[in-house]
Chains A and B, each alone.
Chain A
Amino acid sequence: MKRDDLVITALGAADPGALALLEKEPHGLDRPTVLALAATTAALADAGIATAEAREKLGLVLGSSTGSLAGLAAFVRDTFIHAKPYHVNPSHFPNTVLNAAAGWTAVWRGLRGLNATLAAGGCSSYAALQYAVRMIRAGRAESLLVGAVEEASFHPGQTPREEAAGIVLLETGAAAARAGRLPRATLIDVTCSTAPLTLPTGLDAPLPYHGANGLMRLLALLAEGPAGPRWASDRDPTGMSASLGIFR
C-alpha cells in the first residue's frame, strides 16, 4: 500500500485540556470511553466540524489492545461477591465488550459512518490506520476519524502501561478540499504484520502506551520537526511489527 492521496487534516489527543472539556458528559462511562470521547471531541474541534449533519457522515476506526480490562475485572468481581452471580450492574455490561469506546463515542457524537474496533497488541494503532486506509480505498468511506485508546494498567500482574488516546481525521484529498480542510500531512504508508518487516528506520524507543503507541508517535510527528517524510515504528512481544510514514 503506497499511495499518496490520503491526507490527515485534523488531530486530537485526550490531554488534560480535552478531558477538562468533558465535564458535562454523562457519568458511568468507562475510562477508555472517556479518553476516546475526549480525543474525538478535540479532533472534531480541530477540524472545525461543529454540526450534527457533518458529524453524521463521519466514521470512527479505533485500535485498542484490550478495551477496559479494569472494567471487565470489576464486572467479573461482582459475579463472585454478591448473593447471586448475576447481581451485576446492567449498565456496566456493555462496557465489558471490546468495542465499547468506539460504540459510545459514535452515540455521544452522532458518528453514523463506518465504525470499527481492532486489536493488534502494541501495533493496534497501525492496524487501525491500515484498516481505515483500505476502507477508504474500497470506497466505503471518504473521511474517517482514526485513532487508538489504551487504559492504564490496574493490576501488579500487568506489564505497566499509561493511559492515552489520540485521533486523526484521515480522508481523501478530494473530501478535504470539498470541506475546505487543509492537509497537515499526507499518509505515505502504513504496514502491520507478523512477518519480519524491513522497517524504513530503526525501531523507535518504546513508549508506555502499548496499543496507542503508534498514534502518540503520529501526533508527535504531525506537531513538530522539519518538513519532509517522517517515519515511526513499533514492535509487539508477539513478534508483530508495524510502521507508518507521513509526508509533512
Chain B
Amino acid sequence: MTKPDRQRVVITGLGPLTAIGVGRDAFAAGLRAGREGVGPIASFDATGFPHAIGGEVEGYGRLGRTSELCVAAARLALADAGLKPDDCRGAPVVLGTTDGEPIPVETLIEAEVKGAEVDAKALFALQSADLLAVGVSRALRLAGEAVTLTTACAAGNYALGYALDILRAGEAQVALCGGGDSFCRKTFAGFVRLGAVAPEHCAPFDLGRKGMIPAEGAGVLVLETLERARARGARIHAEVLGYGLSCDATHMVAPDATSIARCIELAHADAGVDASSIGYVCAHGTGTKLNDATEAAALRAVFGAVLPPVSSIKSMLGHTMGAASALGAIASCLALAEGFLPPTINFKTPDPACDFDCVPNMARTAAPRVVQNHGFAFGGNNAVVVLGRAP
C-alpha cells in the first residue's frame, strides 16, 4: 500500500480549540453529546444584523486573535502528544486560514469611520497572515519552517497534506499542522449578504436547512513519522494515508461536483485505498442548499449507490473557516481511535438531494478503519484527506 521509499506518517497529538470544547477530551465529549456551540454574538457589536448567532470561543483577546487561538491549539496538541517544544526543535509549522488576522483592519476602519483615535501602525503590525505559523513557531521556539496556507475553507486540509509531504520525503520527523480563523464582522456580513447564514441553527443535509453559522476556532495536529512515534512509544491516534487537491477553475464561490469527485479520487489514489474501504466521511457540510447538494452529488459520483455514513460537525461547531477541515481531521482521528461517529445535529427532514446516512442527531458507536475528511473553499480550492486506524 505504501511506497517503500517514503516514510509512513501518523498523528500523535490533537489540539482542538472550539466552541463545543477545548482540548481533545472536551472536544470528544462535545462530539459524542452532539453539543451545539453556537450562540449570541459577543465579540463584535452585531446591531443591525437580521440575526446574530455565531460560534465563538471564549477567553481570547480581540487583536491577533487568530494567532492566539493557533498558539493555544498548538500547545494543546503538543501536550496531547506528550511532547515538549524542546522535543520538536526545527519542526515545520504549517497552518491554514481563510482570513488570517482580519480584526486589526476591522478595528482600524471602525475607528476611522467613527472618528476615534487609533494607532494604525500598531494595528497593521498585527494583521499579516504569516503571523499564524510564525506566531506558533516563535511562541514554541521551534526555529523551523513556518508557512501559512491561505486557501480559505480548505486550508486546514491543505496544511495537513503539506506536512504529510514534508515528512514522507524525510525532510523532517515531526511537524505541527492545522488551521485557524477568528469570528469576524467582515465574514459574518458577507455571508449574511449572500443569504448563506442560518438564523439560529445549522442543519446540514436537512430539507429545511437555512445555511451555515459562521464560527471560529483552531485545530492543530502533531504529525510524526511512524518510525519516530514508535521509537518514543507515542500513542498514535491515526495514520495519515494520503490526500488530494483539485481546483474547480469554474467559479469563485459555487462548488463543482465534478471537481470535488476528482479531488476525492486523487485522495484515494494517494492513500492507496478504494472507495469501498471508506467507513466514514467527515463532510464539508456547511448547511447551505448548494454546498450540501453538490457534496452529495460528488459522493454519489465516486461511491455509486452505497455511501458510507456522512456527517457534518459544522452542525455543532458552526463553520470555523480555515480551521474547519483541521477540526474535521481531529474529529476523524477521534472517530478512528475511540470508535464513534460524530452526529449531524438539528436534523429533522430528509432531503432527497442528500439521500444518505448522515448519522442524524445522535453519535453512534462504530469501528471505521479508513475515513475521509472534506474541505472545499472559495477560489475553487478543494482538499480531501484520508486517515486510517493507527497501525
Complex Cα distance A94/B190, Å?
9
Complex Cα distance A124/B388, Å?
33
When distances are taken between beta carbons in the complex, the residues of chain B under 8 Å from A73 are 105, 108-109
Complex Cα distance A148/B113, Å?
32
Judge if B110 is at the interface, Cβ distance under 8 Å.
Answer: yes
Comparing A8-16, A58-66, A163-171, A172-180, the segment that makes contact with chain B is A58-66
Q: Which of B369-391 contact A (CB under 8 A)?
A: 377-381
- The reply to whether B147 and A97 contact each other, CB–CB distance below 8 Å, is no
- Knowing A59-B247, A66-B129, A194-B138 are in contact, say whether A131-B378 is a contact too (CB < 8 A): no
Complex Cα distance A98/B158, Å?
14
- The reply to whether A86 and B147 contact each other, CB–CB distance below 8 Å, is no
- The reply to whether A116 and B149 contact each other, CB–CB distance below 8 Å, is yes
When distances are taken between beta carbons in the complex, the residues of chain A under 8 Å from B235 are none
Q: How far is the CB of B173 from chain A (nearest CB, A)?
A: 16
Q: How far is the CB of A134 from chain B (nearest CB, A)?
A: 5
A106: nearest chain-B partner, CB-CB: B249
- The reply to whether B190 and A115 contact each other, CB–CB distance below 8 Å, is no
- The reply to whether A131 and B169 contact each other, CB–CB distance below 8 Å, is no
Comparing A75-83, A200-208, A219-227, the segment that makes contact with chain B is A75-83
- The reply to whether B147 and A127 contact each other, CB–CB distance below 8 Å, is yes
- The reply to whether A98 and B99 contact each other, CB–CB distance below 8 Å, is yes
When distances are taken between beta carbons in the complex, the residues of chain A under 8 Å from B166 are 134
- Knowing A65-B130, A73-B105, A106-B247 are in contact, say whether A120-B147 is a contact too (CB < 8 A): yes
A85: nearest chain-B partner, CB-CB: B48
1/0 per residue A142-181: CB within 8 Å of B?
Answer: 0000000000000111110000000000000000000000
Q: Which of B87-139 contact A (CB under 8 A)?
A: 90, 97-100, 102, 105-106, 108-110, 113-114, 119-121, 123-124, 127-131, 133-134, 137-138
Q: How far is the CB of A152 from chain B (nearest CB, A)?
A: 14
- The reply to whether A1 and B171 contact each other, CB–CB distance below 8 Å, is yes
Residue from A79, A110, A195 having most chain B Cβ neighbours under 10 A? A79
Judge if B143 is at the interface, Cβ distance under 8 Å.
Answer: yes
1/0 per residue B168-211: CB within 8 Å of A?
Answer: 11010000000000000110011111100000000000000000
Judge if A114 is at the interface, Cβ distance under 8 Å.
Answer: yes
Select which of A106, A107, A119, A127 is within 8 A of B100 by beta carbon: A119
Q: How far is the CB of A200 from chain B (nearest CB, A)?
A: 18
Complex Cα distance A109/B388, Å?
37
- The reply to whether B379 and A76 contact each other, CB–CB distance below 8 Å, is no
- Knowing A76-B186, A121-B130 are in contact, say whether A97-B192 is a contact too (CB < 8 A): no
A78: nearest chain-B partner, CB-CB: B189
A64: nearest chain-B partner, CB-CB: B150
* Total number of B residues with any Cβ neighbor in A under 8 Å: 73
- The reply to whether A137 and B169 contact each other, CB–CB distance below 8 Å, is yes
When distances are taken between beta carbons in the complex, the residues of chain A under 8 Å from B349 are none
1/0 per residue B242-261: CB within 8 Å of A?
Answer: 00011111111100000100
Q: Which of A92-122 contact B (CB under 8 A)?
A: 93-94, 96-100, 102-104, 106-107, 109-121
- The reply to whether A66 and B134 contact each other, CB–CB distance below 8 Å, is no
- Knowing A98-B150, A134-B165 are in contact, say whether A103-B109 is a contact too (CB < 8 A): no
- The reply to whether A112 and B162 contact each other, CB–CB distance below 8 Å, is no
Complex Cα distance A224/B65, Å?
45
When distances are taken between beta carbons in the complex, the residues of chain B under 8 Å from A238 are 130-131, 134, 138
B143: nearest chain-A partner, CB-CB: A195
- Knowing A73-B109, A97-B99, A111-B247 are in contact, say whether A131-B190 is a contact too (CB < 8 A): no
Complex Cα distance A76/B109, Å?
7
Complex Cα distance A153/B382, Å?
31
Complex Cα distance A90/B252, Å?
12
Complex Cα distance A75/B142, Å?
36
Complex Cα distance A240/B131, Å?
11
- The reply to whether B252 and A100 contact each other, CB–CB distance below 8 Å, is yes
Complex Cα distance A106/B47, Å?
38
- The reply to whether B193 and A66 contact each other, CB–CB distance below 8 Å, is no
Judge if B49 is at the interface, Cβ distance under 8 Å.
Answer: yes
Select which of A76, A131, A240 is within 8 A of B162 by beta carbon: A131
- The reply to whether A107 and B130 contact each other, CB–CB distance below 8 Å, is no
A80: nearest chain-B partner, CB-CB: B113
- Knowing A103-B379, A194-B143 are in contact, say whether A65-B251 is a contact too (CB < 8 A): no
Judge if B148 is at the interface, Cβ distance under 8 Å.
Answer: yes
- The reply to whether A194 and B144 contact each other, CB–CB distance below 8 Å, is yes
Complex Cα distance A21/B165, Å?
38
- The reply to whether B185 and A76 contact each other, CB–CB distance below 8 Å, is yes
Judge if A17 is at the interface, Cβ distance under 8 Å.
Answer: no
When distances are taken between beta carbons in the complex, the residues of chain A under 8 Å from B106 are 76
Select which of B147, B190, B248, B253 is within 8 A of A88 by beta carbon: B190
Q: Apart from A98-B98, A194-B137, what are 17 other A-B pairs with CB-CB below 8 Å?
A: A79-B189, A86-B49, A86-B189, A86-B193, A88-B189, A88-B193, A93-B194, A97-B377, A98-B150, A104-B379, A118-B148, A131-B147, A138-B165, A155-B108, A192-B145, A192-B147, A238-B130
Q: Which 5 pairs from chain A and chain B are nearest by CB?
A: A103-B379, A157-B120, A98-B150, A115-B247, A93-B190
Interchain Cβ contacts under 8 Å between A and B, 14 examples:
A66-B100, A72-B186, A86-B193, A90-B190, A93-B191, A93-B194, A104-B252, A106-B379, A115-B247, A120-B130, A121-B128, A121-B130, A194-B137, A239-B138
